[in-house]
Homo-oligomer: A and B are copies of this chain.
Amino acid sequence: MKPWKTVSRKVVQRFGKFLTVEAHEIELPDGRRLHNWPWLISPDFVLVLPRTTDGRFLIFRQTKYAVKGLSLAPVGGHMDDGEQPLAAAKRETLEETGYTAAKWVLLGSYVLHANRGGGHGHLYLALDARRKCAPHADDLEEQELLFLTHRQLELAFDRHQFKVLSWSTLIAQALRYLNKPEKPSCSKPAFSTRKSTRC
């Protein structure tokens, strides 16, 4: 199976630094051409589920322009130019909640849209989180910070209170990670900011 080839591309609309819309001409492996294929360029983003040292998950209740009613939501935001995913995850967590965390687990990195791109999301679980300062987020939305127990998080997830695909992905993956009976330390995509024993 061969990948599709981009023959040419042109910008059709720019929306500041958050979205550029392109039209691509594509050649399929059998030689056919596709014209005017939409392609979306957005910065990569991070989503973070922090859990405090006493086992509470930091979750927002908030509005979002594309969401009907209120939704529960994780910490999240776009990566700055040149910023690495883990650095962005730490920055967004501190900005939005005022918390830092001792252990960071990368649950996965995924492209938003299979056909149109739209940037990659990097999903983190942040363990042993402690309050360091007051939050100082510059988000436009109103939001309320909640401290959910593990059981409350599971119930909220199963009741579809996380209404955005990527948010649901993060919570589903975090619960899968946390509910596993054993977590071998050397075969998982997990890492700690503390010095660890070599495997």
**Interface on A for B, CB 8 Å cutoff?**
1-4, 12-13, 15-16, 18-19, 21, 23, 26, 28-29, 34, 36-38, 40, 61-67, 70-71, 73, 108-118, 121, 140, 142-144, 158, 160, 162-169, 172-173, 175-176, 188-189
Copies of this chain in the oligomer: 2
Mind listing 20 A-B residue pairs with CB under 8 Å? Answer: A1-B61, A1-B62, A1-B142, A12-B13, A26-B65, A64-B115, A65-B114, A66-B111, A66-B116, A66-B118, A73-B114, A110-B165, A110-B168, A111-B164, A112-B164, A114-B166, A118-B118, A165-B166, A165-B169, A172-B173
Considering the complex, give the chain B residue whose CB is closest to the CB of A62.
Answer: B1
Q: Which residue of chain B has the shortest Cβ distance to A73 in the bound complex?
A: B114
By secondary structure, the A interface counts as: mixed
Contact: B29 with A142, CB < 8 Å?
yes
- Chain B nearest CB from A78 CB (Å) reads 10
Also in contact, A2 and B63, with CB within 8 A (given A13-B13, A113-B112, A113-B118): yes
Closest Cβ of chain B to A107, distance in Å, is: 9
State the CA gap A168–B21 with chains docked (Å): 25
CA–CA, A18 and B116, complex, Å = 11
Residues of B near A29 (CB, < 8 A) are 142
Q: Is the CB of A144 within 8 A of B108?
A: no
A116 to B91, CA, bound (A): 23
